[in-house]
């Protein structure tokens, strides 16, 4: 601790899914006079609609440091974050680094801090897909293994950590911090004209997101998914905000022509936080391979079909909101019809997904300075 009673914390964001997680944490830290909170943006995501718009929508303060690392291979991106973040840590010498989620910036900054003997807290710890081909699974495991404080969103995450031999003293079950943002901003979506702008009405459309390398980087797989989606789009309008990675691969793999067959499918640019939330809350169905959207669908009570074989968020399946469809076209087709028919499932909100996770995190952190 730099000075007894005071705590200097460096918080890290890098990619789109990090922003709704850090926003409530920074807000809660601002309430504690003994905490000095700095924000570092690595620049892993940099387009306006992948980064800046989230700062505006979620009222995240300007970063104190912007590292500008940009895109690259895993090694390039991770290495650039480490080199630049080390300079920030050498200058600021914080008492603690807080990382969220599972993107490359999360792991890179956790590693950099630990090598300088600076304690690390990981928010969203303990999630496991058991799929080692997923870059995020490696990021999760490395980050959890070296972190000093592990804030978990669900009880299954605690179990995963305990099974890996993590000391129970390090684990704090605090709930889902991303749901803090969702519950804060949900009422504000009512004032927006998002649905009118996209020409849809509540309950008459589905939303879709797709960006995992395992789904979009392989021609056969991506063609199969688009084929299933095309069939579905004959009877169901679908809005697809296209992630830059998916946009790039549609062109590179020469699959854009398949979209002409999909009458009810509308491709749009990536959306900010509030527009996406406005669309998701009134959607009939959410189709996704994102982790965060599985959780948001659960709290919104909207059935979700996940285009993956596994999930690090099994609680969303247990809660009755989520179905795993993999990326086989026939499985996807049958998951659509069961999700739309509902099969009488009731959706249950998981424990401590109540909008107060950030408060609990900051409560634990502020006790460190006492």
243 vs 266, which CB is nearer to ligand UD1? 243
Kindly name the residue from 41, 45, 122, 211 that is annotated as catalytic.
211
Residue 228 CB, nearest approach to ligand UD1 (Å): 22
Distances (CA, A) of 322 to 65, 99, 178, 319: 38, 27, 17, 8
Among 8, 32, 36, 50, binds ligand UD1 (CB under 6 A): 50
| Torsion over CA: 118, 22, 161, 290 (sign) | negative
Region near ligand UD1 per CB under 6 A, out of 188-196, 237-245, 351-359, 361-369: 237-245
11 vs 18, which CB is nearer to ligand UD1? 18
Restricted to residues 52-71, the positions that interact with ligand UD1 (CB under 6 A) are 71
Q: Is 122 noted as a catalytic residue in this protein?
A: no
Q: CA-to-CA distance for 237 and 203, rounded, in angstroms?
A: 10
Region near ligand UD1 per CB under 6 A, out of 43-51, 79-87, 157-165, 302-310: 43-51
Among 11, 42, 104, 230, binds ligand UD1 (CB under 6 A): 104
Question: Per rule CB under 6 A, is residue 135 in the interface with ligand UD1?
Answer: yes
Nearest to 25 by CA among 119, 103, 89, 98: 98
Q: Hey, what are 59's tokens?
A: 């009222």
Question: Per rule CB under 6 A, is residue 170 in the interface with ligand UD1?
Answer: no
Helices (H) and strands (E) in the chain, counts: 16, 13
Question: Per rule CB under 6 A, is residue 211 in the interface with ligand UD1?
Answer: yes
CA atoms within 13 A on the CB side of 18: 30
Restricted to residues 245-304, the positions that interact with ligand UD1 (CB under 6 A) are 245, 248
Distances (CA, A) of 95 to 23, 118, 122, 167, 366: 20, 6, 14, 21, 12
Q: Hey, what are 222's tokens?
A: 């991506």
Q: Which residue has the tokens 């991506």?
A: 222
Region near ligand UD1 per CB under 6 A, out of 13-21, 147-155, 309-317, 347-355: 13-21
Please, are residues 175 and 352 in contact by the beta-carbon 8 Å criterion?
Answer: yes
The SS3 of residue 57 is helix
Region near ligand UD1 per CB under 6 A, out of 10-18, 23-31, 33-41, 359-367: 10-18
Among 12, 19, 25, 44, binds ligand UD1 (CB under 6 A): 44
Q: Which residues form the interface with ligand UD1 (CB under 6 A)?
A: 15-17, 44-47, 50, 71, 102-104, 135-136, 211, 243-245, 248
**Which positions are annotated as active-site residues?**
211
């Amino acid at each position: 601790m730099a000075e007894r009673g005071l705590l200097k914390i460096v918080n890290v964001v890098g990619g789109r899914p990090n922003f709704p997680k850090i926003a409530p944490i920074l807000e809660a830290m601002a309430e504690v006079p003994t905490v000095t909170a700095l924000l570092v943006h690595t620049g892993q995501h940099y387009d306006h609609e992948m980064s800046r718009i989230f700062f505006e929508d979620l009222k995240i303060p300007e970063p104190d440091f912007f590292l500008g690392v940009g895109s690259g291979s895993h090694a390039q991106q991770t290495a650039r974050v480490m080199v630049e973040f080390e300079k920030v840590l050498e200058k600021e010498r914080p008492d603690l680094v807080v990382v969220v989620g599972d993107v490359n910036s999360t792991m890179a900054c956790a590693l950099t801090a630990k090598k300088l003997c600076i304690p690390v807290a990981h928010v969203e710890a303990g999630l496991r897909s058991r799929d080692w081909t997923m870059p995020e699974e490696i990021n999760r495991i490395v980050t959890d293994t070296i972190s000093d404080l592990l804030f978990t969103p669900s009880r299954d995450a605690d179990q995963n950590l305990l099974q890996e031999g993590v000391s129970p003293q390090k684990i704090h079950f605090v709930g889902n911090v991303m749901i803090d943002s969702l519950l804060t901003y949900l009422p504000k979506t009512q004032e927006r004209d998002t649905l009118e702008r996209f020409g849809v009405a509540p309950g008459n459309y589905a939303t879709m997101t797709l960006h995992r390398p395992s789904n979009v980087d392989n021609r056969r797989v991506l063609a199969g998914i688009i084929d299933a989606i095309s069939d579905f789009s004959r009877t169901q309008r679908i809005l697809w905000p296209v992630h830059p990675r998916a946009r790039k691969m549609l062109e590179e793999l020469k699959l854009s022509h398949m979209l002409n067959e999909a009458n009810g499918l509308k491709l749009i640019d990536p959306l900010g936080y509030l527009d996406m939330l406005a669309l998701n809350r009134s959607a009939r169905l959410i189709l996704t391979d994102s982790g965060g959207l599985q959780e948001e669908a659960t709290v919104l009570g909207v059935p979700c079909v996940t285009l993956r074989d596994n999930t690090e968020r099994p609680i969303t399946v247990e809660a009755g909101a989520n179905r795993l469809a993999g990326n086989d076209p026939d499985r996807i087709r049958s998951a659509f019809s069961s999700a739309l028919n509902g099969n009488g499932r009731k959706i249950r909100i998981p424990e401590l997904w109540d909008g107060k996770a950030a408060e609990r995190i900051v409560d634990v952190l502020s006790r460190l300075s006492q």
